[in-house]
Structure 1
Amino acid sequence: MIIIGVLFFMLIFHIRKELISILSPFIWSIIFAYLLNPIVNFLETRKINRSLSILLTYLTLISIFIVIGWTIIPAIVDETKNLIHDLPYYTEQVEKFLLMIRKSTQAQLPVIFNNFIENSINSIEDSIINKIKSISYIVVNFFSGILNIVMIPVVTYYFLKDKEYFKKIMIELMPKKWRIKILEIAKDSDRVIGGFVRGKIIVAIFVGVFTALGLYLLNINYAVIIGVVTGIIDIIPYFGPVIAAIPAIIIAFFQHPIKAIWVIILFIIVQQIEGDVIGPKVIGSSVGLHPVAIIFSLLIGGTFFGVIGMILAVPVAGTVKVVGKHIVDYIATNDDNY
């Protein structure tokens, strides 16, 4: 039996790329179904047929995507072209700024340190240019994977429509001995993590839109790109806003130093509104993790999986906490029985 298990895992590892390619539409469909299910349930409580509720949700999303396609995407494309063109200028300005600081402080830094700074700046510039140019490859892959793109909404529809059917199958696959406990863990995890994830997405959209709007009113270059990136990175607690603010402040500073101050004020205002007003109302209670635990989970996620790891760190840590609590309760209950 052990040999069969080892051979099975070896086979899975050998065909992992093909397996991921096949399963990815279904994985994404499950994710989207999970995120959209509360909306469909809400419409269903208003005496709207579930199938019609799903279609209304789809129509709303399609309308939003059409608006984004007509307004935001062209602006992103134009700003991306300008950023690729202007990036060497910003690199040169950063080098001049560092040189000015070094001269003003009369610090005689070793030549090796100067070379290190220049090489680091050039490396960052090349990395940014390559990342931006990779957008074209993403677009190509987007259209080459058009079959998956068509499949995902269809499969998502059936996951939403036949939710009870799939739920029944999953329950039947669970060992009877652990079925009740697994369902309790799943329910608690959904209550703790589901609201956090959905709420965080809504908050991130607010942060991205208001940041882009604020930068646009301040006449800061690449306002839309910075707003989109800020919204995405804002999903990362604590570190996200700081990471997003740095490039905005640098770009504003080289436009005019006073603008950097206004950008800092803008980010502080947006974060205060998010933290004190919108966040508590949309997300509600947190995942119940201490800030130290959140920072620790972010460091682990970032170290092993990069930005994606940092985005997923808090939901994963919250799930681990829920599972751990149930394990402790189970052990304590068994000890009391003895």
Structure 2
Amino acid sequence: MTVQRQIGFWIAALVVAVLLLFVLRGILLPFVAGFALAYLLDPLADRLQRIGVGRLGASLLILVLFVLVFITSLMILVPFAAQQVGAFVERLPGYVARLQELGAEQLGPLVRRLGIEDTLPAAPTSVGNLISQGIAWITAFLQGLWSGGQALMGIFSLLVVTPVVAFYMLVDWDRMVKTVDSWMPLRHRDTIRTIAGDIDRAIAGFVRGQALVCLILGTFYALGLSLIGLNFGGLIGMTAGLLSFIPYVGSLTGLILSMGVAIVQFWPDWTMILATLGIFVFGQFVEGNILSPKLVGDSVGLHPVWLMFALVAFGALFGFVGLLLAVPLAAAIGVIARFALQQYLASPLYRGGGPVIIHPKIEDKADLDA
């Protein structure tokens, strides 16, 4: 088989896979979630096997413990989060109005001094429109995720099917890996194994490491904001920790929300406002210098911009299934792109060595040397 035919085959396979993913996106969520859960828990099952526990028993034990912890966490966190979210949404218009008043009071003299008062739009109108547009966009995005990920299965089906899928995948994980490995073309098996290993390390390093970073940051932000008495500090802190899965987005979102609430609540006490700011500054320092280097590492290769693009793009195309697939697919594409770049830099196409191609406008050797 020629190189052109191989490339055509893999492009066709990729197109078919994307089409199937798009057509079946409404029913794939429990299966994708089960596969992701099995992938995350496989190292723990391997460790239990090494100490003498059978694969079936290890898989069953891990999954039962995971489900118990998950259900317990939901029973504790969901009522608290629901109450906090409801109260925050109820107070949000008052916070916005108060921030507008403070902005007019503090910035009004400066604006009049600069003589640009007539050129600025009315603050309540501009800020109100901005907030309305933001809420409308977020609502539409969440509705798209809901309809794309839950249209056919529903939450009950997700909670029932996902553990079953995860259990069977966890039991047969090593066998499936060996089977897929046996299908690889013999001529390129070592190369494919190397690329697959790089993809696995990128996904595992980011997902497992970043999940632990999110847990630590969310706990720190929630406790810190609650201790200084900030309204909805626990909710804002947990939200910031959860969104920290996307680098910088969680901390920036939490900082904006907490500073807005702190200004309304503590004004004109700058001490508490600066304390709120200090919590996020300290959290970013710890994340950037301790948590991320130790838990995530520098070899993951997922740039924050590429990760944000992947999450938004796959989420818009495939709903909640796309969000689950965004990180592994982004990591895989990144590894393959780096491998392709290395091949290009080592190829005659980059290094030269072939016949010199003279541009039609170059007529003699003197022009070429020039």
- Which bracket does the TM-score occupy, shorter chain normalised? 0.7 to 0.9
Q: How does 1:152-191 map to 2 (within 5 A)?
A: 152-191=162-201
- Of 157-166 and 326-335, deviating more is 326-335
What RMSD over aligned residues (CA atoms) do the two structures have, in Å? Answer: 4.1
What corresponds to 1:264 in structure 2?
277
For 1:132 and 1:169, how far apart are their aligned partners in 2? 43
What corresponds to 1:227 in structure 2?
237
Superposed displacement of residue 273, structure 1: 2.7
> Contact (CA 8 Å) 1:301, 1:312: kept in 2 or not?
no
Q: Deviations over 1:99-158 (max 9, x none)?
A: 1233120244465732476234344157448958979x96xx599342232111111111
1:20 aligns with 2:25: yes
Give the direction of change, closer, same or farther, for the CA distance of 1:230–1:158 in structure 2 (3 Å limit): same
For 1:129 and 1:329, how far apart are their aligned partners in 2? 44
Superposed displacement of residue 220, structure 1: 1.1
For 2:215 and 2:287, how far apart are their aligned partners in 1? 11
CA radius of gyration, larger in: 2
Give the direction of change, closer, same or farther, for the CA distance of 1:49–1:63 in structure 2 (3 Å limit): same
Q: Which amino acid aligns with 2:128?
A: I
Name which structure has the greater RCO, CA cutoff 8 Å, separation 6+.
Answer: 2
Superposed displacement of residue 299, structure 1: 6.6
What corresponds to 1:147 in structure 2?
157
Q: How does 1:87-126 map to 2 (within 5 A)?
A: 87-105=92-110, 106=112, 107-109=114-116, 113-115=120-122, 118-125=125-132
Match of 1:276 among 289, 293, 304: 289
DSSP 3-state at the match of 1:20: coil
Match of 1:326 among 339, 361, 369: 339
Aligned residues: 328
DSSP 3-state at the match of 2:87: helix
- Of 124-133 and 304-313, deviating more is 304-313
Match of 1:255 among 230, 241, 265: 265
Match of 2:254 among 244, 247, 254: 244
For 2:325 and 2:24, how far apart are their aligned partners in 1? 22
> Contact (CA 8 Å) 1:294, 1:314: kept in 2 or not?
no
- Of 326-335 and 90-99, deviating more is 326-335
Q: Identical aligned pairs, as a percentage?
A: 25
What corresponds to 1:297 in structure 2?
306
For 1:186 and 1:117, how far apart are their aligned partners in 2? 54
Which 5+ residue runs of structure 2 have no aligned equivalent?
Answer: 1-7, 355-370
Give the direction of change, closer, same or farther, for the CA distance of 1:277–1:31 in structure 2 (3 Å limit): same
Higher fraction of helix: 1
Give the direction of change, closer, same or farther, for the CA distance of 1:76–1:130 in structure 2 (3 Å limit): farther
Q: Deviations over 1:39-67 (max 9, x none)?
A: 22222222222222223322332332233
> Contact (CA 8 Å) 1:50, 1:161: kept in 2 or not?
yes
TM-score (norm 1): 0.79
> Contact (CA 8 Å) 1:193, 1:287: kept in 2 or not?
no
DSSP 3-state at the match of 1:212: helix
TM-score (norm 2): 0.73
Q: Which amino acid aligns with 2:91?
A: D
Which 5+ residue runs of structure 1 have no aligned equivalent?
Answer: none
- Of 125-134 and 79-88, deviating more is 125-134
Give the direction of change, closer, same or farther, for the CA distance of 1:174–1:250 in structure 2 (3 Å limit): same
